[in-house]
Structure 1
Amino acid sequence: MTISKILHVPGARLRYLLRGTGPLLLLVAGGDGDAAASDDLAAQLADRYTVLTYDRRGLSASTLDDPGDPPTVTTHADDLHHLLAALTTEPAYVYGSSIGALICLELVSRHPEQVSVLVAHEPPATQLLPEPERSRARQEQQEVEDVHRAQGALAALRRFAALAAIDPADREPDVAATPPRPERLPNLEFFLTHDAPAVRRHLLDLSALKAASTRILPAVGEASAHIWAHRCGRLLAEELGVSYVEFPGGHNAGVFRPRAFAARLHEVLDSAGAVPGLLGTDRAGDEPAR
């Protein structure tokens, strides 16, 4: 059974979903992914975890109080802080992909006590890249935004997919390519207008990450070694003095290969050795989603 609820946070209302039983595991999607983007992966994890997914503010059912006040990566991290605080007093497992990984790293730098283990899959942290790779990567980020302004969201999505080497054919046989949901285009517009520039401008607090009590596990795709986000994952591991972990598939494998990805995530979290608390009782201030 999946429970859908709404939590009011400063400046927004967040829709979140809970399914399964066991230790709390938060999944934070990449790109313009809302809670539904993680449905297949969450379904593979719900037999061992209470899986928490959500719509980032500005996407789907998570609305802004003031649409003229767009979020930053830090805003998104603060949303996660409020979401976790509303659900549990114990540190949680957290997995984030791409922008989701960047948001989760910001959460850990600000609230490490809330996260037991973070698996950060290919965070687009260009500050980690040496020159001239850094300048090329930032130019590519800017190109996606420029294509969006000149040619529209779908053309920008094609450009982004090419840069991330996303191969729609690299999917498990039972993961079908489904038609876009009605909210996909508005979500994509919001991501390209606000979140993509926020990612390009964001800088990780590496000192805070090194000092954090959270066990941070940078992760990369086995099939994505030729893209700079993969390189960022490996360089983050080097910066933190830890080993990176490999997952099946490429940059988007959590969506395209959920069964293999979940199996690997089970292994990684088991080997991390930490045992976060079970989900606590919901606190006041949230309401069922409509």
Structure 2
Amino acid sequence: MSTHEPEVRTLKVPGARIHHEVRGSGPVLLMIPGGPQDAGVLAEIARLLADRYTTVTYDPRGNSRSTLDGEPVEQEVDVHADDAARLIAELGGGPVDVFGTSGGGQVGLALTARYPDLVRVLVAHEPACVPMLDDPAAAEARDRHVYDTYLREGVDAAMVEFLGLNGLDVGEGAEGDALSGGDGPPPGEEELATFERVSGNFDYFLRHGLLPISLYRPDVEALAGGAPRVVVGLGAESEGELIHDIGLALAGRLGSAPVGFPGDHLGYDSHPDGFSETLHRVLREA
């Protein structure tokens, strides 16, 4: 494990305070987690890349340590993108490299479309933007079913269903090991702390984030011009899953070839060394 420890900072934005962690030196690489996740899930690849980049991870507004000023409201991808833009400005301005995974990929797409001068390259790893499918009706119905399950049966049942849509189960990744006592090595103190924080975000995500994030339609026309460059990353082990099909559809609409990354939807967690090297290669070649 890399030993780069973060400098922890807080940025006041309209309606929230954004917890973010800065490591290393070099060109800025802003890293955006997905859904209910926070900076902790990307900490290891941020450490691994901190000898080549100033890596910046953060908790999206309303998640974990990024507290809201008022009561939770329906999440808006464009508001998350505005937060990312303010972080970039706080770090000295753009253009910077951006990595977003899952719902963080949608935030990266919105950031790039709304603030193209702030982004040099966006790597969107398995963004869950369902409207990119030629016929999104079935996938949209599945997301709405997860939401209905949450309303009827609660958080646990809905999260099991949600993970299944991404080809995952509660035994995969650090969060899954903490839930199920899986066959991998026992999670360490940092992983357990991340799991505790992230699991505390599930209710907020299911109630206020699941549908607006998954149903977000990127501005493909603004993104397809090639500047800034947008790269779609797909997990090698995600092939055959809905999330893989969504990524292929997005890449097709952007007119670009997707790039393979190690692992599945959580490849940054299960294959951090290979994942970080792939990300570095993509950024270097862009």
TM-score normalised according to structure 1 size: 0.87
| 2:203 is the counterpart of 1:201 | no
- Partner of residue 152, structure 2: 150
- Partner of residue 269, structure 1: 283
Residue of structure 2 aligned with 1:111, choices 115, 118, 130 = 115
- Read off the aligned partner of 1:164 and give its amino acid letter: N
How many residue pairs match? The answer is 270
Pairwise CA RMSD: 2.0
Matches within 5 A, 1:221-240: 221-240=235-254
- Shift of the 112–212 alpha-carbon distance from structure 1 to 2, 3 Å rule, reads farther
Once the two structures are TM-superposed, the CA of residue 68 in structure 1 deviates from its matched residue by 4.4
- Shift of the 176–32 alpha-carbon distance from structure 1 to 2, 3 Å rule, reads same
- Read off the aligned partner of 1:264 and give its amino acid letter: T
Once the two structures are TM-superposed, the CA of residue 174 in structure 1 deviates from its matched residue by 6.5
CA distance in 1, matches of 2:173, 2:276: 16
CA distance in 1, matches of 2:215, 2:130: 9
- Partner of residue 259, structure 1: 273
After alignment, is 148-157 or 111-120 more displaced?
A: 148-157
- Read off the aligned partner of 2:198 and give its amino acid letter: R
CA distance in 2, matches of 1:81, 1:90: 9
Residues 59-118 of structure 1 show CA distances to partners (whole Å, capped at 9, x for unaligned) of 111111221433311110111011111112231111111100001000111001111010
- Partner of residue 85, structure 1: 89
Once the two structures are TM-superposed, the CA of residue 169 in structure 1 deviates from its matched residue by 5.0
Q: Which runs of 5+ in 2 are unaligned?
A: 175-182
Once the two structures are TM-superposed, the CA of residue 176 in structure 1 deviates from its matched residue by 3.7
Tell me, yes or no, if the aligned pair for 1:108 and 1:212 is still in contact at 8 Å.
Answer: no
| 2:40 is the counterpart of 1:36 | yes
Tell me, yes or no, if the aligned pair for 1:20 and 1:50 is still in contact at 8 Å.
Answer: yes
Once the two structures are TM-superposed, the CA of residue 151 in structure 1 deviates from its matched residue by 1.7
Secondary structure of 1:204's counterpart equals coil
CA distance in 1, matches of 2:33, 2:270: 13
Once the two structures are TM-superposed, the CA of residue 212 in structure 1 deviates from its matched residue by 6.1
- Partner of residue 66, structure 1: 70
Secondary structure of 1:64's counterpart equals coil
Once the two structures are TM-superposed, the CA of residue 170 in structure 1 deviates from its matched residue by 7.2
After alignment, is 206-215 or 142-151 more displaced?
A: 206-215
Once the two structures are TM-superposed, the CA of residue 226 in structure 1 deviates from its matched residue by 1.2
Q: Relative contact order, CA 8 A, sep 6+: which one is greater?
A: 1
Residues 118-139 of structure 1 show CA distances to partners (whole Å, capped at 9, x for unaligned) of 00111111221122xx111111
| 2:61 is the counterpart of 1:57 | yes
Q: Which runs of 5+ in 1 are unaligned?
A: 273-290
- Partner of residue 96, structure 1: 100
* Aligned-residue identity in percent: 36
Tell me, yes or no, if the aligned pair for 1:21 and 1:48 is still in contact at 8 Å.
Answer: yes
Tell me, yes or no, if the aligned pair for 2:72 and 2:208 is still in contact at 8 Å.
Answer: no
Tell me, yes or no, if the aligned pair for 1:220 and 1:230 is still in contact at 8 Å.
Answer: yes
CA distance in 2, matches of 1:237, 1:69: 31
